[in-house]
Structure 1
């Protein structure tokens, strides 16, 4: 895949690459047998940018980031992803600094404004600036390898009852992966006509594939609130109609039971964007590049939410990208989904879908 191979520094079987459009993020790639690739988008601590030269997160004044928005001119500040109080400020020379609004205030393009619904903590820089120093053991999640410096990669076992997670770069409580979809949609007219909870508008069906242009599919389902033991998982298989469409195309959207939008998964200019809106109006999002995933190819998009953290995944046959962010105080998929558009009905997806599964468990998409 051209995106993974481009500008990647490989060290001891692990690849490191700067994020295509965010200075405080980077991509860490693990290469397995048979061409398997796992790419994780990680975020640097508050006030740090990714340094491709040192392969660490360094202070912003130590990093020359070509994507820095403060260099674009006429930019005084911009929002920090994942925190309603955090923002980046720009000085007259184009230098950037991490800042945080006072408690009870929210960052806006016009500065910090009072908003008692903004309850995020000010981000902390008191975290390590290194990268994950562990490798998965492919096919055995009870084991991992740790960087031993001059001694190379050293084998290690997770404690009893835990398994290694490349997302967390640690052994975590073992999850039950033996689960089946709570609901699924078969994309043909016979299935649609046999159900009362799936409705379509301007959709063509052919050979188990739904063809979208100006249409939509409404899925009226009810799920229980997400918990760490019983996360909500959405699995969708899609492919685009054209190679390059800079406009925002909505794959999936959802609303709460009062009709307020609380979930959007969209394609925006070669990026896949996951957005969850909290009860208090904060939008939590993760973004991943789709470069290297050709438009005509089938791709799987997966959203996992456990009530506090959202994980977005895009995968093809042998390649899987992950990104995650905190998303507390949110509810999704409790009162239905819409495929192909959102509430505006002006950002329609153009392409095809062939599979939709909804889980209330962990089907092991994180390995």
Structure 2
């Protein structure tokens, strides 16, 4: 079985290089009407694809999922298995100098430790947080339990009822056959594909701290923005090498009730190098920052303290075209991000420590990693939509 797993994963890696222009879910075989595929960045991650019917506008929702603690994704079996049973071609511990690294998407304590070029799942002691490249560091705000290998970490086998938001279908394997059962959410709730369960719908009382759509109308807030070499025309802001756009703003430390919620639209004219910076959200007093970068066909969101990465997540932009809508929400406990292009929606979430942000937002102003393209409809909130994550890109 280990040999067949290696063959499947290696073949998948080859397919990525040959068919890099395929949409992610074209490589996702269906199980119980849900598509599953490997991740090309983390052995313990996989992607879950929900295909909307043509009658509901078609399109795909891709949810980035994390396997149970100590498990890797097995594309052959379409499930997570103990990592010692899997030979993963992107095993990070295969590097000679690798010692340990973060278990992305898991709790604040979980990490991998390298031993004989293989990964072992571990957790920091209570009251400690795992910090990439540093190890377990004392942090009394890290309250996550050490994750288990069952319960909520099991593979999601539920799909939305696309015509009724409060209903969903749950699949159960019975005598070798996947049987579908209709379920209804509690009163006032709707089905959320990220939670794989029911949640309250988006509320409408969250207003922006700052918003600008570059149309010079009543909704634009230019008062706190300082720009240089930015060409604003036809309702968009055009950026190139040397452009600078800075928004001065002070917000409280993000919490679940009052998170930092950033929403924007961008369109990249052309790639200038492997990495291109979209945002640098900074707190210069405590040396905290959140960066949003483009790296090849990925959006990477990273939270740093004193220059060290504390949490990061990625969203694929493969086959995304024209303007891309992005929403990023940081609650002080996790970072949730959504990207949409046309009918395709990608969703990801990771655990994150609590840091204060911010004194300023620098939009595509990095001299080292310049962005060439345009922005539209940039908005910053200090409140919680309190609804389905998939709706965040449509919010307000």
Give the TM-score category using the shorter length.
0.7 to 0.9
Partner of residue 11, structure 1: 31
Partner of residue 111, structure 2: 87
Q: Name the TM-score, length of structure 1 as normaliser.
A: 0.84
Which deviations, in whole Å up to 9, do the C-alpha atoms of 1:257-282 show, x marking residues without a partner? 72733321111232211123479977
Q: Name the TM-score, length of structure 2 as normaliser.
A: 0.79
Classify 1:140/1:278 alpha carbon distance in 2 versus 1 (closer, same or farther; 3 Å): farther
Q: Map 1:306-325 to 2 at 5 A.
A: 306-325=331-350
**Post-superposition offset of 1:284:** 1.9
Partner of residue 340, structure 1: 364
**Post-superposition offset of 1:85:** 5.0
Partner of residue 233, structure 1: 261
Classify 1:95/1:230 alpha carbon distance in 2 versus 1 (closer, same or farther; 3 Å): closer
Q: Map 1:144-155 to 2 at 5 A.
A: 144-149=168-173, 150=177, 152-155=179-182
**Post-superposition offset of 1:238:** 0.7
CA distance, structure 2, for counterparts of residue 33 and residue 54 of structure 1: 26
Which deviations, in whole Å up to 9, do the C-alpha atoms of 1:63-110 show, x marking residues without a partner? 232221233555444343366654333344x3322234556575564x
Q: SS of the counterpart of 2:329?
A: strand
Give the CA RMSD over aligned residues: 3.2
Which deviations, in whole Å up to 9, do the C-alpha atoms of 1:203-233 show, x marking residues without a partner? 1222222111221211223445544445432
Partner of residue 166, structure 1: 193
**Post-superposition offset of 1:307:** 3.7
Partner of residue 43, structure 1: 66
**Post-superposition offset of 1:154:** 1.6
Partner of residue 267, structure 1: 294
Q: Map 1:57-136 to 2 at 5 A.
A: 57-81=80-104, 86-92=110-116, 94-102=117-125, 104=128, 106=130, 109=133, 112=135, 115-117=137-139, 120=142, 123-128=146-151, 130-136=154-160
Structure 2 residues without counterparts, runs of 5 or longer? 1-20, 392-396
Classify 1:84/1:361 alpha carbon distance in 2 versus 1 (closer, same or farther; 3 Å): closer
**Post-superposition offset of 1:43:** 0.8
- Paired residues in the alignment total 358
Structure 1 residues without counterparts, runs of 5 or longer? none
Q: SS of the counterpart of 1:22?
A: coil
